[in-house]
């Protein structure tokens, strides 16, 4: 059957965007739809992200722009999916493009209409109802597409038929079309990916928490309150009276872990976002008191435990183990009533503000749609998947990623997105590059030796610039500058018409440099560069002058000085433009083979995915057999036998012709860079050399052997994995399990939470109980971290009579003949006589990581797990191109997450593999060998190891250089230059900065 | 001339954070005095001492180094290196007999438009208080 080389991605949050980019980059046409006016999803609303407190929009917004500009991604905002019919490889998806009543081809997002709309005070969805918008609006300033939308529920024309012309008059482009209609379209696609996301739980029915009170906010509302682009400009204040709060309470597990049917699960992210919001609040003002009322603190993820600790120790946040039952008003303040679980007492405390840490729930509309299409959902409305296929739904060809499949954080979402993109890539691999377009460009004009002939285009941007800056005066001034052969003003340079003008004038005046004075290069430079390229001019002969964000918008009352500044800003750009040189975006050919290190479930899954995409793989395993750590696990939560999955996987790997397995082997050296690596493999005493284009590090991990902890002897005191082996034979009356043995410690390397041990212990406790309900099982814990739907296992274990006793670091249990533990809740020392003690110890990284990391020049975290390129958005990439990671090599995680990451790593690796080439950075460092004395300062300064001294001269590896220019600044002889930011180019700007 | 004087401040911004923060100030219409001229570099690590000295000699009343917050540099550690350069330059500026305010370092994230505007307002006031750069006056002669 013929497969179609296009994909529909439903949902434009970070997951949908990442999947779209991955798919489009690997040769597929993508339709990315979102029912909201802009893509960006929940991440765009966040102020910061945990645990790094990175600015959320700053890291997401480049992806929005990239998606919107990608020639093979159609971003369709304000569009809904109606139905999907057909079969894997060939579906018809019916979508409805809802009418915005604004022609998106004309609207340029200037926002003039919004300012003139008389309907104010509509609660803004983007601000979670605590900010306002008008009836015609753009949800946020970085919206993509950046187009206005009329909300017919509020617009006076539609509601009361008034002939209001506010927006229509304000729009100088005539983009508002009140007679516009919805448009249904059939898309032919090979696969559909649901990245529909979850939404914050709506607490309005939990009246015990006074959710209607203006100072009781959901965490997402609080996020908007903290955010600089939120309704208060980032000023944290009470919405009731505008006062700065002095005492803030966070109540955890609101709308999760509740014995109400549809919200029994744990939402997995709330503990960490509460700590993040608390820390940021403290950073705004140190003297705010913050208390977090929680049941179990669940820091399940890389770096989260350390983050929690910072919250406690560095920021003095009070974490109160409790169950908050009520929030009520008293004398204008809020009182939180709670049961203190450490002291077993009911208490009350007053606060100025209360934040409800609400869980993630599945939007009803998405659930209905998914059911209609035939996708199985679980009892909570999440898409059901199986352990070894975490991104595949029951319908072949329909995939899922992100929180639609269950609560999870951003990196896990991103990993699943890349994983789903990888899987889709394999499914549709025959149809790769069949529907994608590539722009054909005319041959480039040779400008070497030519006198600069500069054309300058000054934009009015409606009234955005022209309303403040005297644009014609700027044009007149620019005409007097040397080498300027053409200068003109334009209403909107970015419009199609504006670009056409540039194109025409390049030909008419034989321009060899172009300057646009308008908005910011960060969003618009690629557009004008593309126009130059279409006119046969090297795109690096273009220069921007920012006279909007950096001038007209910030000097609105100083028109004369603003005009003067605009002249000087353009003058600086012209000065730089004079010295611009054409640059090559070189291509590096990619050897279409992969190396995977590690033959556990992660490495094998990655190898299989790569092979399914048609790429040969070398799989190197140090031990004598495939299977890794999973070999020792005898049951999975919810009953399945992992050995079935494992054996099936091993068989597939062994039978696959494209996978070459090296057992009892290790990699001893690596050279080269993305596209062209060479490695030596030591196998049975002899060395082999292999070439490959990309590598995946799936080095796995092991269970920590707790020698010296609680009398561990491997017989009466054993580990969970040792228990797995004997669990079906043990005869014991009493078993005690102790959690966090050797993890969450004070000092590195094991300061982390190992994420899976609580679930592992609870799972084994249930198995024991199911075999013999009479066996008494005690679990001694610090926090029960059965996150996500594993929460149900915890409940099940309690129902089956497993006894949970909390211990603290101050009073750890003592194991002798008896196990003694102090139970805070009943305030008593408890003595248990066990037949068996089981220690829950953490996953520890492979000891080879250090050596492997050095060979590939990739870093390790303090825990000795590998450190990815970006903890949020690049979970399976390294900063070094062409090298990826997955599974336990990245950090402790359960099997389904390992497999999702494996698919993600394979998917990411398939991008350069399928393209057969990578585009090299154009703005890189370059060396003047005449001047270079080989001192090596540059080599030391390069964070990417792209510079080395060879034969006494600095050499830049173009494939590795990212173009920051740091080495250039360090060079004492002036031998190093950063292309496009050369010393003389910047000095020219400096010189022309101020006209006297 | 003296009456018309307003500070002339050369501002180096890195592409990923402080330039974006300056854009964010614009998007938020955060008003600032028209005293700055921005030079965009990819990373604060590219801010060459030679550029700073040239700016001062060309008559800038102040030069500002800006970039991503420590830990946020798009190129891992360019801002650490910028900080070192800055400290070294501080001594040179001191030698030249210039006031401390004339060379400053500030980390600004892409979302800190308000902070950015507040900072430019503050620096402008500081420079207004100490007056034109003596180097500039020499140059004017
Ligand atoms: S990129 Fe901003 S300081 Fe390096």
Q: How confident is the model at residue B1 (pLDDT cuts 50, 70, 90)?
A: very low
Q: Do B34 and A546 touch (CB under 8 A)?
A: no
Reading the block at residue A478, the tokens are 């620019």
Cβ(B21) – ligand 1 distance below 6 Å: no
CA A501 to chain centre: 39
Given a cut of 60, whether residue A587 has pLDDT beyond it is yes
The answer to whether A30 touches A435, Cβ cutoff 8 Å, is no
User: Helix, strand, coil: what percent of chain A each, to 5?
Assistant: 30, 25, 45
Q: A87 by DSSP, 3-state: which?
A: strand
A987 Cβ under 8 Å from any chain B Cβ: yes
pLDDT in tens, A370-384: 999 999 999 999 999
Rounded CA separation A113/A138 (Å): 10
pLDDT in tens, A605-630: 999 999 999 999 999 999 999 999 99
Given a cut of 70, whether residue A698 has pLDDT beyond it is yes
DSSP state for residue A389 in the 8-state scheme:
B
Specify the pLDDT at position A641: 84
Given a cut of 80, whether residue A369 has pLDDT beyond it is yes
The answer to whether B28 touches B114, Cβ cutoff 8 Å, is yes
Rounded CA separation A358/A373 (Å): 29
Rounded CA separation A628/B58 (Å): 65
pLDDT in tens, A751-778: 999 999 999 999 999 999 999 999 999 9
Given a cut of 50, whether residue B121 has pLDDT beyond it is yes
Chain B residue whose CA is closest to A48: B111
The answer to whether A132 touches A120, Cβ cutoff 8 Å, is yes
**Nearest one of A670, A650, A827, A808 to A740, comparing CA atoms:** A808
Specify the pLDDT at position B138: 63
Given a cut of 70, whether residue B137 has pLDDT beyond it is no
Specify the pLDDT at position A68: 85
Pairing of strands B103-107, A73-77: unpaired
> With b meaning 16 or more CB within 10 Å and e meaning fewer, what string describes A34-43?
bbbbbbbbbb
pLDDT in tens, A47-84: 989 987 777 876 787 788 789 878 999 999 999 999 99
Chain B residue whose CA is closest to A976: B46
Nearest to B45 among A562, A964, A991 (CB): A964
CA-angle at B101, arms to B98 and B105, nearest 5°: 120
The full DSSP string for A788-851 is: GGGHHHHHHHHHTTPEEEE--STT--EESSSEEEEETTTTEEEEE--SEEEE---EEE-TTHHH
Query: CATH topology for B9-130?
Result: Rossmann fold (3.40.50)
The answer to whether B18 touches B67, Cβ cutoff 8 Å, is yes
Residues of chain A with pLDDT > 90, as a percent, come to 82
Specify the pLDDT at position A671: 86
Using a CB-CB cut-off of 8 Å, the residues of chain B touching A990 are 10, 39, 51, 54-55, 58
* Mean pLDDT for the stretch of residues A449-457: 97
pLDDT in tens, A16-28: 999 999 999 999 9
The answer to whether A263 touches A200, Cβ cutoff 8 Å, is no
Q: What is the mean pLDDT of chain A?
A: 94
The answer to whether A5 touches A28, Cβ cutoff 8 Å, is yes
* Mean pLDDT for the stretch of residues A458-464: 86
Task: Determine which of A47, A560, A969, A971 to mutate to test the interface with B (most B C-beta atoms within 10 Å).
Answer: A969
First-to-last C-alpha distance (Å) of chain A: 72
H-run or E-run covering A908: helix A895-915
* Mean pLDDT for the stretch of residues A397-408: 97
Task: Determine which of A549, A572, A576, A579 to mutate to test the interface with B (most B C-beta atoms within 10 Å).
Answer: A549
The full DSSP string for B123-137 is: HHHHHHHH-S-HHHH
Nearest to B22 among A57, A550, A983 (CB): A550
Specify the pLDDT at position B2: 46
Reading the block at residue A927, the tokens are 């060396």
Specify the pLDDT at position A620: 98
CA A103 to chain centre: 31
Given a cut of 70, whether residue B104 has pLDDT beyond it is yes
Tell me whether the omega of the peptide bond preceding residue A51 falls within 30 degrees of 0, making it cis.
yes
CA distances from A494 to A106, A517, A921 (A): 11, 11, 25
Chain B contacts in chain A segment 472-531 (CB below 8 A): 520-522
CA-angle at A622, arms to A619 and A626, nearest 5°: 60
User: Tell me, what's the ipTM?
Assistant: 0.97
Given a cut of 70, whether residue A310 has pLDDT beyond it is yes
pTM greater than 0.90 (yes/no) = no
Distance A546 CA to ligand 1 centre (A): 19
Distance B77 CA to ligand 1 centre (A): 8
pLDDT in tens, B59-86: 899 999 999 988 778 888 899 999 999 9
Chain pair A-B, CB pairs under 8 angstroms: 159
Phi/psi for A343 (5° steps) reads -110, 0
Q: How confident is the model at residue A870 (pLDDT cuts 50, 70, 90)?
A: confident
* Mean pLDDT for the stretch of residues A203-222: 95
Q: Domain coordinates of chain B in residue numbers?
A: 9-130
Rounded CA separation A497/A518 (Å): 15
Specify the pLDDT at position A638: 75
* Mean pLDDT for the stretch of residues A664-674: 92
Chain A contacts in chain B segment 121-140 (CB below 8 A): none
């Amino acid at each position: 059957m013929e497969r179609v080389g296009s994909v529909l991605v439903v949902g434009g949050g970070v997951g949908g965007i990442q999947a779209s980019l991955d798919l489009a980059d690997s040769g597929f046409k993508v339709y990315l739809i979102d029912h909201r006016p802009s893509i960006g999803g929940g991440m765009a609303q966040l102020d910061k992200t945990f645990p790094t407190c990175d600015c959320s929009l700053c890291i997401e917004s480049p992806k929005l722009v990239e998606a919107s500009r990608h020639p093979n991604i159609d971003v369709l905002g304000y569009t809904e999916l109606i139905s999907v019919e057909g079969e894997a490889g060939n579906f018809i998806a019916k979508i409805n493009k809802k009418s915005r009543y604004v022609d998106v081809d004309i609207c340029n997002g200037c926002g003039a209409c919004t300012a003139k709309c008389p309907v104010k005070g509509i609660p803004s969805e983007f601000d979670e109802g605590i900010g306002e918008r008008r009836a015609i609006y753009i949800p946020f300033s970085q919206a993509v597409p950046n187009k206005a939308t009329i909300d017919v529920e509020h617009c006076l024309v539609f509601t009361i038929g008034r002939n209001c012309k506010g927006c229509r008059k304000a729009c100088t482009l005539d983009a508002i079309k009140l007679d516009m209609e919805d448009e249904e379209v059939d898309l032919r696609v090979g696969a559909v990916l649901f990245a529909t996301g979850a939404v914050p739980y709506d607490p309005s029915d939990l009246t015990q928490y006074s959710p209607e009170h203006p100072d009781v906010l959901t965490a997402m509302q609080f996020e908007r309150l903290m955010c600089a682009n939120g309704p208060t400009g980032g000023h944290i204040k009470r919405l009731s009276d505008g006062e700065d709060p002095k005492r803030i309470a966070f109540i955890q597990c609101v709308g999760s872990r509740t014995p109400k049917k549809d919200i029994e699960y744990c939402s997995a992210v709330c503990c960490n976002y509460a700590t993040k919001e608390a820390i940021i609040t403290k950073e705004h003002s140190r003297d705010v008191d913050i208390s977090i009322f929680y049941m179990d603190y669940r820091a399940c993820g890389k770096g989260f435990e350390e983050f929690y600790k910072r919250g406690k120790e560095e920021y003095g946040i009070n974490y109160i183990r409790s169950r908050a039952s009520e929030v009520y008003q008293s004398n204008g303040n809020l009182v939180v009533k709670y049961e203190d679980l450490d002291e077993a007492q009911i208490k009350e405390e007053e606060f100025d503000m209360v934040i409800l840490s609400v869980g993630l729930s599945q939007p009803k509309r998405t659930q209905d749609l998914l059911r209609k299409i035939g996708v199985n959902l679980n009892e909570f409305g999440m898409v059901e998947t199986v352990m070894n296929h975490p991104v595949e739904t029951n319908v072949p060809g329909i995939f899922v990623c992100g929180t639609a499949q269950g609560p999870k954080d951003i990196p896990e979402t991103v990993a699943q997105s890349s994983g789903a993109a990888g899987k889709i890539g394999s499914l549709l691999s025959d149809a790769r590059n069949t529907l994608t377009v590539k722009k054909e460009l005319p041959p480039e004009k040779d400008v070497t030796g030519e006198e600069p002939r500069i054309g300058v285009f000054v934009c009015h941007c409606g009234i955005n610039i022209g309303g403040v800056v005297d644009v014609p005066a700027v044009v007149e001034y620019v005409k007097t500058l040397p080498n300027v052969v053409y200068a003109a003003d334009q209403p909107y340079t970015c419009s199609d018409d504006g670009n056409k003008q540039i194109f025409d004038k390049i030909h008419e005046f034989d321009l060899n440099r172009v300057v646009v004075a308008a908005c910011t290069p960060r969003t618009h430079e690629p557009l004008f560069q593309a126009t130059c390229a279409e006119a046969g001019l090297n795109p690096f002969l273009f220069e921007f002058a920012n006279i909007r964000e950096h001038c007209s918008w910030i000097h609105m009352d100083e028109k004369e000085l603003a005009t003067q500044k605009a002249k000087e800003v353009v003058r600086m750009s012209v000065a730089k433009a004079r010295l611009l040189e054409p640059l090559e975006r070189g291509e590096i050919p990619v050897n279409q083979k992969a190396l995977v290190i590690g033959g556990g479930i992660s490495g094998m899954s990655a190898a299989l995915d790569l092979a399914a995409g048609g790429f040969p793989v070398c799989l190197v395993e140090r031990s004598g057999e495939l299977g890794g750590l999973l070999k020792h696990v005898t049951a999975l939560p919810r009953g399945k036998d992992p050995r079935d999955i494992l054996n099936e996987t091993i068989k597939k790997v062994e039978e696959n012709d494209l996978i070459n397995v090296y057992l009892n082997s290790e990699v001893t050296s690596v050279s080269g860079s993305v596209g062209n690596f060479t490695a030596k493999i030591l196998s049975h005493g002899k060395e082999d050399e292999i070439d490959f284009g990309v590598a995946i590090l799936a080095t796995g991990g092991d269970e920590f052997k707790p020698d010296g902890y609680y009398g561990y002897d491997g017989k009466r005191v054993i580990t969970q994995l040792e228990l797995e082996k004997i669990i079906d034979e043990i005869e014991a009356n009493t078993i005690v399990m102790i959690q966090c043995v050797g993890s969450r410690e004070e000092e590195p390397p094991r300061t982390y939470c190992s994420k899976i041990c609580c679930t592992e212990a609870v799972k084994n406790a249930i198995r024991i109980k199911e075999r013999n309900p009479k066996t008494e099982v005690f679990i001694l814990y610090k926090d029960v971290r059965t996150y996500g739907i594993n929460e149900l296992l915890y409940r099940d274990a309690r129902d089956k009579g497993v006894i949970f006793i909390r211990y603290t670091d101050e009073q750890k249990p003592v194991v002798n003949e008896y196990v003694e533990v102090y139970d805070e809740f009943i305030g008593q020392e408890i003595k248990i006589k066990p037949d068996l003690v089981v220690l829950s110890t953490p996953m520890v990284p492979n000891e080879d990581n250090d050596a492997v990391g050095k060979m590939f020049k990739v870093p390790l975290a303090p825990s000795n797990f590998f450190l990815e390129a970006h903890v949020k958005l690049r979970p399976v990439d390294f900063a070094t191109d062409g090298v990826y990671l997955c599974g336990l090599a990245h950090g402790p995680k359960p099997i389904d997450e390992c497999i999702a990451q494996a698919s993600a790593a394979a998917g990411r690796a398939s991008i350069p593999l399928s393209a057969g080439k990578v585009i090299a950075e154009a703005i890189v460092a370059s060396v003047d060998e005449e001047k270079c004395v080989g001192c090596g300062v540059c080599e030391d300064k390069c964070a990417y190891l792209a510079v080395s001294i060879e034969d006494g001269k600095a050499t830049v590896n173009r494939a590795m250089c990212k173009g920051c220019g740091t080495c250039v600044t360090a060079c004492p002889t002036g031998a190093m230059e950063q292309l496009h930011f050369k010393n003389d180019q910047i000095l020219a700007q400096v010189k022309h900065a101020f006209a006297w | 001339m003296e009456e018309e004087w307003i500070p002339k401040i050369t501002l180096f911004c890195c592409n990923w954070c402080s330039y974006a923060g300056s854009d964010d100030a614009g998007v938020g219409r955060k008003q600032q005095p028209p005293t700055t001229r921005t030079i965009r570099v990819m990373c604060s690590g590219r801010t060459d001492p030679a550029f700073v000295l040239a700016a001062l000699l060309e008559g800038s009343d102040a030069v500002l180094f800006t970039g991503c917050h420590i830990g946020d540099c798009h190129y891992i550690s360019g801002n650490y290196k910028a900080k070192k350069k800055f400290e070294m330059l501080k001594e040179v500026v001191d030698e030249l007999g210039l006031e401390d305010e004339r060379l400053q370092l500030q980390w600004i994230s892409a979302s800190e438009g308000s902070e950015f505007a507040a900072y430019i307002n503050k620096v402008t006031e500081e420079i207004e208080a100490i007056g034109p750069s003596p180097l500039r006056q020499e140059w004017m002669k």
